[in-house]
Structures are given as C-alpha cells and as structure tokens.
C-alpha cells in the first residue's frame, strides 16, 4: 500500500486477469502505538500516514481512470470513528483517518455527473484485531476491547456492502459509531470529554 509504483502497476494486472474493474474498497489501516503525541516518534507517524492516508490516495488515483470508463462504478474508502471523534493516544491515527474522510467527501463532489459513486465509511470498534495486526502492543487489552463490546467483522462487511449498493454518501458501522456521531454533532466538547474519560486508564497504562 505504501509503494506508489507497485500500486500504480496494480490496475493493469487486475484488468489483464479479470477484464475490468467496477469498484474498489480501500480498507487497509494501522493504528499508532497507544501513546501521547509528545511521546510518538516520527517513524510511527510516517507509517500511519503512509498506510492509512497515502495508501488510500494511491489506490484511489490508480483505479479512478478505469472506474470512470465503466457505465457504473464505486469507490469506498474506510475512515474511522476516530476520523471525526478525537481519541487520546491515537491523535495521529485519527488525523490520518480524518484526511481520508475529507478526501473521500471531496471526491464524492468531484464525481457528480459521472458513473462513479463514492462512499466514506466510519467504523467504530470492530473485531478485526487491529492492534495485533498493526504490531502495537497495548498490554493484552486493545482499544477495541477495553471499553466496549466489539462489532462482528462479518456484520461490518455486510453494512459496508449494503451502503455501497445503496450508493450511500456515508456509512456508520456499529452502535458506538452511530451513538458517538450523534453526540459529537450535538456537542463536540462533551463527546471529546466522554471518549477521553473512556480511554483514560488505557492511556495511563502506557505512559
């Protein structure tokens, strides 16, 4: 995902094998070590942005010319609940997902009048084991499991595909994402304080 040349070569390989491309779902992502921004090194920052932001950008730009040639096509980019709600200890992760959010919403406007629909997805806590898959050790607990019940990955996938089929502008995945989206719209400061309180113990354990 972080190798632009490799990503740019992918559409030709896919077309050679399958003949055409009608849609892409960009869901690759990693979290940062669960530490405050002051304690986060630049190597971790670069890795998060390279995978979450640049990988999504590379894939979108690489495949968009092919998608524009199709009678109907779709781009789905996975942001995060952390892309609209700040999570202490994941400030850079959230920033990368906020970049995905705004880029995708901007692309949605740019594709008006074409055959390409664009959807941005905001998952909450989903059982993808993202901490382990990101190589982040947070002491046996994960940001997914420390404060709330996680949403099954198969249900999350179904929600995303259903949103894609409906040409939804945005899809909220999981009850926590839906609840906190409403709370953040009502009172950003209260929502920020709430999530900070939920994450306080986890963050304190990684001083």
> Are 77 and 104 in contact, with CB atoms under 8 Å apart?
yes
Give the C-alpha separation, 166 to 164, whole Å: 5
CA dihedral (57, 167, 152, 182) positive or negative = positive
Kindly list the catalytic residues: 93
DSSP secondary structure string for all residues of 122-176:
EE-SBSS-HHHHTT---TT--TTTSSSPPBPHHHHHHHHHHHHHTT-SEEEESHH
């Amino acid at each position: 995902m972080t190798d632009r040349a490799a990503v740019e070569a992918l559409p030709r390989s896919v077309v050679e094998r399958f003949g055409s491309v009608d849609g892409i779902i960009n869901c690759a992502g990693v979290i940062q070590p669960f530490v405050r921004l002051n304690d986060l090194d630049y190597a971790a920052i670069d890795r998060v942005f390279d995978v979450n932001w640049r990988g999504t950008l590379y894939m979108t730009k690489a495949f968009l010319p092919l998608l524009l040639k199709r009678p109907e096509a779709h781009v789905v980019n996975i942001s995060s609940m952390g892309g609209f709600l700040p999570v202490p200890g994941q400030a850079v992760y959230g920033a990368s997902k906020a970049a995905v959010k705004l880029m995708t919403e901007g692309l949605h406007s740019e594709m008006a009048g074409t055959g390409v629909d664009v959807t941005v997805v905001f998952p909450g806590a989903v059982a993808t084991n993202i901490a382990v898959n990101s190589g982040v050790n947070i002491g046996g607990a994960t940001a997914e499991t420390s404060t709330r019940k996680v949403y099954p990955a198969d249900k999350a996938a179904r929600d995303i595909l259903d949103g894609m089929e409906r040409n939804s502008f945005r899809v909220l995945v999981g009850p926590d994402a839906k609840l906190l989206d409403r709370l953040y719209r009502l009172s950003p400061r209260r929502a920020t304080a709430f999530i900070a309180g939920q994450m306080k113990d986890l963050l304190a354990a990684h001083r």
